[in-house]
Chain A
Amino acid sequence: QQQVKQSPQSLIVQKGGISIINCAYENTAFDYFPWYQQFPGKGPALLIAIRPDVSEKKEGRFTISFNKSAKQFSLHIMDSQPGDSATYFCAASMDNFNKFYFGSGTKLNVKP
């Protein structure tokens, strides 16, 4: 059973556009939701994370929107750039466990 479901599998966005990636979870015990960015040949790098006591968190061009009642959260990349082209993973964990459940990933391609 997949704990975190991610969509879309792939995404093509024009430079300057907004990229949106969605994730949904089932386990209401999850209370920490990070997003990771992974380039080919590299390990995942933490982008931004949110806890369910807030509905939105913004860091630069990256924003997480969180809907606790719907058990959904999303990553918005504003003013997308070709350098943002990578695979993005959402994840979830329960406090003090540090065991992360990852989504299946979204391959983002930002066209110049």
Chain B
Amino acid sequence: DAGVTQSPTHLIKTRGQQVTLRCSPKSGHDTVSWYQQALGQGPQFIFQYYEEEERQRGNFPDRFSGHQFPNYSSELNVNALLLGDSALYLCASSLKVGGNQPQHFGDGTRLSIL
């Protein structure tokens, strides 16, 4: 049973560029959440997708956008990259039904902005 998979594992970009990160949820899960984890900090919630729609959003600018596909996989897009966007981006999947279902995290994409 495959867990949450993210790609790529590492990425280097320069300021002003755009990036797309990808996530495949754990088998059977229908909800995907994205988090940003700065070095030495806890993960911060970016947004959550369910039924191909953004359901909740954290305190992140519109430069951060996402998408969920019919197979529940998801993408995180970041435009106009800033140095401060350097972080580990984590994807977590869960099952919506029942509320507060355990979230399973992938190992993340390490994004470095030069």
Contacts and interface: CB of A to CB of B under 8 A. Distances in A.
Given A93-B100, A97-B56, A99-B48, A45 B105 contact: yes
Interface of B: 4, 31, 33, 35, 40-45, 48, 56, 58, 90, 92, 94, 96, 99-108
Interface of A: 4, 6, 31-32, 34, 36, 41-46, 49, 89, 91, 93, 95-105
A101 B45 contact: yes
Contact of B105 (A43, A98, A104): A43
Given A95-B99, A99-B45, 11 more contacts: A4-B42, A42-B107, A43-B108, A44-B105, A97-B100, A98-B101, A99-B58, A100-B43, A104-B41, A105-B40, A105-B41
B74 to A, nearest CB: 14
Could you tell me the dominant secondary structure of chain B's interface residues? loop
27 contacts: A4-B42, A6-B42, A31-B100, A34-B102, A36-B105, A43-B92, A43-B105, A44-B43, A44-B105, A49-B102, A89-B43, A91-B42, A93-B100, A95-B100, A96-B100, A98-B31, A98-B33, A98-B94, A98-B96, A98-B100, A99-B45, A100-B33, A100-B43, A100-B45, A100-B103, A101-B45, A104-B41
B107 A103 contact: no
Contacts of B48: 98-99
B78 to A, nearest CB: 19
A103 to B, nearest CB: 5
A34 B44 CA distance: 15
Given A44-B90, A97-B56, A98-B96, A103 B42 contact: yes
Contacts of B42: 4, 6, 89, 91, 102-105
Contacts of A96: 99-100
Contacts of A45: 105
Nearest to A9: B40
Contacts of A41: 107
Contacts of A32: 100
B98 to A, nearest CB: 9
**A-B pairs with the 7 shortest C-beta distances?**
A102-B42, A43-B105, A96-B99, A32-B100, A43-B107, A95-B99, A44-B105
